[in-house]
């Protein structure tokens, strides 16, 4: 019987100018928003929970159970007691339980964090090991640029898939389905991936910028946040590109706010989240009307949801209950997932899956992995393969060309950062 457990020590430290400077250039592990967040230093890890494709269904449940066992047995010394301090793990899970990709939860040996002007360092080791040595600040590598082009789902193929989806909607098989397309390419061998993370965090400070196991992106959509038993979520569905000037911007936002098609799509997504959270919460409430969320390149219809955790669950349990939402799958869920499997010529992997962190008390912040790309290193001298994804919600009245244009807007954060 394995009797080892994790030993955790968190201490407040002097301000750190750039948390990302501590991360590993080839395998950065980070979660950032508005300058706050957590970043792993180095590559050593006292614990990796990796659930492979052949594990069967309910991968998130398996991870939640494994994490509960780990957290219960951990010895945690954390006088800082801020979001992200103490024992934490970074996670990235697959969109589809049938995906050939792995779902993973990573516990770093060394974490640097910042929250509202306070900074800390957390060291984590096994009970039979030693604390890792602090690698210190690492100078950023040289600038690099990557190239991406049409992947397995070309622009024409995507429009054809949208038409097929509209036929299924007309036949009554489903009300909504979210269809994605891919861009594939490469970046030079040895590229410092922290540069991409930093570019996304700088250009899109109000999003969740993440880097977990080669999945890097900037997501505007919170899946769920748990803090001291308070549960919050932000639902996004309904999108339009920003205008070229102030007048065009105003016209675009007004068009989105009055679009029956986008309002219907948004309502599907909100009801999906509320239905999933109700069994686990009390005093659950959401705003009656969506508000406009303004990002540098587009507007979203958004609704905030808040409640109180009513059972002994953790952030991971709520992730399992919520995913996949109508915002990234469709309605009804099972029919939408089946349509996605048939109409998309690729495995989404972790795109549109849950990404975030969890702590020993079950608190955590989780987003949906959007505006992202998966990086696969081929070796020290081989180019690093990259696949980026973007999708759009298809409902009755959707136009294939308009949906294609929406995906182009959603690709922009990653494509611009790669360039």
CA–CA gap between residue 188 and residue 380 (Å, rounded): 10
Cα(78)–Cα(85) distance, integer angstroms: 7
Taking a C-beta distance cutoff of 8 angstroms, is the pair 105, 61 a contact?
no
The separation between CA 345 and the C-alpha centre of its own chain, rounded to angstroms, equals 22
Residue whose C-alpha is closest to residue 29's, from 316, 350, 355: 355
- Classify residue 81 as exposed, middle or buried by CB count within 10 Å of its CB (0-12, 13-18, 19+): exposed
Q: N- to C-terminal Cα distance for the chain?
A: 51
Catalytic residue status for 308:
no
**Environment class of 289 (CB within 10 Å of its CB; exposed 0-12, middle 13-18, buried 19+):** exposed
| Geometric angle at alpha carbon 112, from 90 and 323, rounded to 5° | 20
Tokens of 28: 């950065």
Report residue 59 as tokens.
């991968």
Contact 31, 356 (CB under 8 A): yes
- For 264, the 3-state DSSP assignment is helix
Distances from the Cα of 310 to the Cαs of 2, 202, 273, 367, 379, in angstroms?
A: 33, 37, 16, 22, 48
Q: Which of 203, 221, 338, 365 is catalytic?
A: 221
CA–CA separation, 16 and 417 (whole Å) = 24
Q: To which residue do tokens 């409902």 refer? A: 395
**Alpha carbon distance 325, 337 (integer Å):** 11
Which of 18, 415, 395, 390 lies closest to 220 in space, CA to CA? 390
Find how far residue 405's CA is from the centre of its chain. Answer: 22
Let me know: does 363 contact 226? Beta carbons within 8 Å: yes
State the CB neighbour count (10 A cutoff) for residue 320.
20
Cα gap 383→372, rounded to integer Å:
19
Residue of 65, 97, 130, 176 with catalytic role? 176
- Token couple for 394: 């298809």
In angstroms, rounded to a whole number, what is the distance separating the alpha carbons of residues 257 and 250?
11
| Residue 221 annotated among the catalytic residues of the structure | yes
State the catalytic residues: 176, 221
């Amino acid at each position: 019987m394995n009797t080892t457990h994790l030993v955790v020590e968190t201490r407040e430290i002097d301000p750190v100018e750039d948390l990302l400077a501590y991360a590993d250039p080839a395998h950065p592990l980070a979660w950032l928003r508005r300058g706050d967040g957590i970043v792993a230093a180095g590559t050593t890890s006292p614990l990796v929970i990796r659930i492979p494709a052949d594990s069967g269904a309910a991968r998130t449940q398996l991870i939640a159970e494994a994490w509960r066992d780990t957290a219960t047995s951990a010895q945690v010394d954390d006088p800082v007691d801020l979001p992200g301090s103490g024992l934490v793990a970074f996670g990235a899970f697959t969109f589809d339980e049938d995906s050939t990709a792995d779902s993973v939860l990573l516990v770093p040996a060394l974490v640097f964090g910042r929250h509202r002007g306070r900074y800390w360092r957390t060291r984590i080791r096994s009970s039979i090991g030693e604390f890792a040595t602090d690698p210190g600040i690492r100078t950023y590598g040289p600038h690099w640029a990557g190239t991406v082009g049409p992947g397995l789902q070309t622009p024409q193929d995507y429009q054809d898939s949208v038409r097929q989806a509209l036929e299924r909607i007309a036949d009554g098989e489903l009300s909504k389905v979210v269809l994605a397309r891919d861009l594939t390419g490469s970046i030079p061998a040895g590229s410092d991936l922290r540069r991409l993370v930093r570019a996304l965090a700088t250009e899109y400070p109000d999003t969740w910028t993440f880097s977990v196991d080669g999945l890097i992106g900037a997501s505007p959509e919170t899946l769920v946040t748990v803090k001291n038993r308070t549960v919050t979520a932000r639902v996004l569905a309904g999108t339009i590109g920003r205008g070229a000037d102030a007048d065009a911007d105003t016209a675009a936002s007004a068009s989105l706010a009055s679009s029956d098609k986008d309002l219907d799509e948004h309502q599907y997504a909100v009801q999906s989240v509320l239905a999933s959270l109700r069994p686990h919460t009390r005093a659950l409430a959401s705003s009656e009307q969506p508000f406009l969320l303004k990002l540098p390149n587009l507007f979203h219809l958004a609704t905030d949801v808040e409640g109180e955790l009513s059972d002994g669950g953790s952030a991971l349990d709520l992730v399992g209950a919520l995913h996949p939402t109508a915002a990234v799958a469709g309605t009804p869920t099972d029919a939408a997932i089946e349509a996605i499997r048939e109409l998309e010529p690729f495995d989404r992997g972790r795109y549109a899956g849950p990404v975030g962190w969890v702590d020993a008390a079950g608190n955590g912040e989780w987003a949906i992995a959007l505006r992202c790309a998966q990086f696969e290193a081929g070796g020290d001298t081989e180019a690093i393969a990259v696949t980026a994804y973007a999708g759009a919600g298809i409902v009755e009245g959707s136009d294939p060309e308009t949906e294609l244009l929406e995906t182009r807007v959603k690709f922009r954060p990653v494509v611009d950062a790669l360039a």
